[in-house]
Structure 1
Amino acid sequence: MLAIDMGLGKSVITLTAVTKLLQHNDVTKVLVVAPLRVAKFTWEEEIRKWDHTAYLKLAKILGSEKQRTTALNTSAHIYVINRENLEWLVRYYGSKWPFDMVILDESSSFKDHTSKRFRAMRRVRPLIKRIVELTGTPAPNSLLDLWAQVYLLDSGERLGRTLSIYREKYFEPATWDRNNPHIVYKWRLKPGAKEVIYAKIEDVCVSMKAKDWLLMPEQVCNVIKVPLPESARKLYKQLEKDLLISYADGNVVANTAAVLSNKLIQMASGALYDESKNVRNLHDAKLNTLEDVIESANKNPVLVFYWFKHDLDRLRKRFPKARSLDTTEDIEQWNKGEIDLLLVHPASAGHGLNLQAGGHIIVWFSLTWSLELYEQANARLYRQGQKKSVIVHHLVAEGTIDEIVMKALNQKSLGQDALMEAVKARIEEIRQIELMSGRRAVDGKTVSK
């Protein structure tokens, strides 16, 4: 596992190793499993970039089933597939698996041992001679995320053959359901466990931080407070109360917290999906502020991250000349400075894309709880090759959940844990407000019959 910060060259390190292994006949057929956009663009771009790898022939196992099978029947050194099609590939070959070397680009996407992609990889693992995992975020939530990734390296030799064994040895319950004590919401490391885990895997893992190896320009984090119009502020508070008060007396589980949080973040950004999946516009405060930011950028290109589809629709309506990141040409034109405003979803550009040549200004229109996606998205510009200080603007609607999300990101709190605690805390605040207003009503003798 190369657990190496973004921009330190995981791809070229791996490609250099592949050329050596192919030349010495240590491997014959190499498979890369990557996020879709990385599979489409990045590996081909990286191969062509370096003289010593330019001879490598790449086949992309992408598109329809017919296109994928055609690619498989093409003679190449390296075959690249998006991770969503890995299960199909394993079924296609069965016991006749031909790839003796597999590279998992962004191996943290295999952290869930119950996922189909992990199970598919585990099925063919005995048929693979060499496996390499690449990630800048090996444990995005906690060190529990390491188990599945290391299992694919050594079949359980270092951290145990099951997650239960690993968890029991190195973790203890931190929070659990009061009504169902056997359901644990969060695990914490036992004292000294982190050092033991690192020692167990140090012979198969390399870790490097960019700050220790590169002279990088500064990354400036700027919070732009966005005051909501009075009508929008009142509407947000009323909708928040209506949304959360029904959970005041019950336990909020992860899925519920995520739904509630998503609705609050939508409202803070200016629009909301209603029960019929229609978009209800609430305010344009962030759009107006973004317009000011773009103007103050003095014609420097601006990269905007959004989260919801209605964010994208509203952004396109306000800025008709804005472009989305859809094709290789979009990436090339951005890096040539030919695109002034680029609209990108962080999940689609979170890994592997090199956009640093095109600009140095980022704006987060709507925020995310995912620290991994947040850091990976910022690293599209703040990476090796960037010549200017990167400015990361965050549009934070005052008096909304945006402030809580921003605080969690600044403190590098882990997504789901921070989300759960924030939603529960806000529900408790609203519950106390309701109780106090009820008491005031009784004391003032204004209670209706």
Structure 2
Amino acid sequence: MRFNPYEYQRYAINHIIDNTAAGLFLDMGMGKTVSTLTAVDELIFLGEVSKVLVIAPLRVAEDTWSTEVQKWDHLKHLRISKILGNQKQRSIAVSMPADIYVTNRENVDWLVKQYFNNWPFDMCVIDELSSFKSSKAVRFRSLKKVRPYFKRIVGLTGTPAPNSLIDLWPQVYLLDGGKRLGKTITSYREQYFRAGRRNQYVVYNWELREGAEEAIHQKIGDICISMMAKDYLDLPERIDNEININLPENVVNRYKQLEKDLVLELGEDDITAANAAVLTNKLLQMSNGAIYSEDKNIIEIHEEKLKALLEIIEAANGKPVLIFYSFKHDLLRIIKYLKVNKLKAVELGGSDDIKKWNNGEIPILLVHPASAGHGLNLQYGGNIIVWFGLTWSLELYQQANARLHRQGQKESVIIHHLVSKGTVDEDVIKALASKEVNQNTLLEAVKARLNNIRG
């Protein structure tokens, strides 16, 4: 296929070529991969770089980069080696003659330990830079060690700071080695933030100082460019539909009892992000229809969401349906329930399933949002999404929806959200709608439930 870049893609390509450190904060579906590959091809041709390391989510590393190279005429000469699989397979892949070496982020630590003294790569592309937003993570610390060995580095993401601008420091550090936002996250916090809600020495959230957001954007503006799809692309209409599920009275009573027991057990003064997450996780399970017991057995509570899901599939009248589920028991129960109703649902596996879906060969596809968050092109296979279980992660939610709602989609995208009334589902859907999903939202939701119960 011939590549005729849009004007914004030309700008992105030139930005990578003109800057040894470049951040592309491009919205989903704007062609980050092909733009980056085009720039890389030019840099290799000019002799600027010779071995490019691409770090991506596993499924993207397995499929997306090699597929893009095969897709575009001007890139087909590029040689790709995938540093994936077991240790022997990875070692062989590193030694293979290639232009681009693609690996998943979980292999970064191994790669650095194995090849630190003879680092072979002179350029790095981090596909989904926001996955390096934790300065404490092993992957960040490992990549930081070899950062000086790269002549060039590119960071790609559509959501650089989905929760807080605190998340920006590690990402920008990998780009510029601390030139713009400081050498340490501590100095970054002290300069641009003040402690918000805290419990003695534990700070639960950091609040921006006055004028800090503008100052941060100005600091990184020379190497980071941000573009929103709505400003550049003629995207299909998106229709969000909330389907309220009325739970039977006995289920409501069981839910309230679990909620009461767990919330009161936490206690108002002891609620932290960790145990608030555990609480809402259990309540989300129950609102979906099942819950794990202490010994990991599945206890089924109700089938109301399954019934609503079946109605959506039947109303689709043969059109493909993409279902996002939250828990393993959701997946098992959905497959079993649909099978009883003579419908076959397929869990997303490898690249073969992606091709089959886009070819219209899979009528019902089940995907966990964490495994379809980045880089998967599913827009050719259907236009109907069902969120069987909701997620607190705004980043996962936005990225997952963008698998269908992106350039290349020919129809309006319909996104159904199954919301059990009177449950934590309602808190999540409100938070997602307001685009304010963060740790503080979670804590406040739990505190509100505690007050309701005690009131």
TM-score range, shorter chain: over 0.9
From 228, 232, 238, the equivalent of 1:219 is 238
User: Do structure 1's residue 201 and structure 2's residue 220 form an aligned pair?
Assistant: yes
SS at 1:81 equivalent: strand
4+ residue segments displaced more than 4 Å:
none
Counterpart residue identity of residue 253, structure 1? T
Q: Highest Rg: 1 or 2?
A: 1
Verify: 1:409 aligned to 2:428, yes or no.
Answer: no
Q: CA deviation at 1:248?
A: 3.1
In the alignment, structure 1 residue 76 sits paired with structure 2 residue 124:
no
Aligned to 2:298: 279
Is the Cα–Cα contact under 8 Å of residues 205 and 439 in structure 2 kept in the other structure? no
Residue equivalent to 1:244: 263
Gaps of 5+ in 1: 433-449
The percentage of counterpart residues that share the same residue type is 58
Superposed displacement of residue 183, structure 1? 2.0
**SS of aligned partner of 1:319:** helix
Structure 1 partner of 2:17 = none
- In the alignment, which of 147, 154, 158 is matched to residue 136 of structure 1? 158
- Residue 268 of structure 1: which of 260, 272, 287 is its match? 287
> What is the SS of the residue equivalent to 1:347?
helix
One-letter amino acid of the counterpart of residue 67, structure 1: Q
Distance (whole Å) between structure 1 residues aligned to residue 59 and residue 206 of structure 2: 33
CA distance in 2, matches of 1:301, 1:419: 34
**Correspondence for 2:360:** 337
Report the counterpart of residue 149 of structure 2 in structure 1. Answer: 127
SS in 2 for 1:188: strand
> How far apart are 1:110 and its partner, in Å?
0.4
Listed as ranges, the gaps of 5+ residues in structure 2 are 1-22
> How far did residue 140 of structure 1 move?
1.3
Is the contact between residue 248 and residue 431 of structure 1 (CA under 8 Å) also seen in structure 2? no
Question: Is the Cα–Cα contact under 8 Å of residues 268 and 447 in structure 2 kept in the other structure?
Answer: no
Q: After superposition, what is the alpha-carbon deviation per residue over 1:394-445, rounded to whole angstroms, capped at 9, x for unaligned?
A: 000011000110000000012322111101211122122xxxxxxxxxxxxx
Residue 375 of structure 2 is matched in structure 1 by 352
The 5-angstrom pairing of residues 33-432 of structure 1 reads 33-177=55-199, 180=200, 182-320=201-339, 321-432=344-455
- Secondary structure of the residue aligned to 2:287 is helix
- What's the counterpart of residue 14 of structure 1? 36
TM-score, scaled to structure 2: 0.93
What is the CA–CA distance in structure 2 between the aligned matches of 1:65 and 1:230, rounded to whole Å?
A: 54
Q: Is 2:378–2:404's contact at 8 Å kept on the other side of the alignment?
A: yes
Match of 2:12 in 1: none
After superposition, the C-alpha distances for 1:299-348 in whole angstroms (9 at most, x for unaligned) are 11000000100001101101231001101110001001111100000000
Deviation for aligned residue 1:113: 0.5
Query: How many residues are treated as equivalent by the alignment?
Result: 429
Paired with 1:250 and 1:143, the residues of 2 have a C-alpha distance of 27
Superposition deviation, residue 229 in structure 1: 1.3
Q: What amino acid does structure 2 have at the position aligned with 1:84? A: E
Q: CA deviation at 1:275?
A: 1.1
Q: Distance in 2 between matches of 1:349 and 1:193?
A: 34
The code of the aligned residue for 1:277 comes to: K
Contact 2:83 2:102 in 1 (8 A): yes
Residues 369 and 416 in structure 1, CA contact (< 8 A), matched pair in contact too: no
Which string of whole-angstrom CA distances, capped at 9 and with x for unpartnered residues, describes residues 139-159 of structure 1? 011111110010011111100
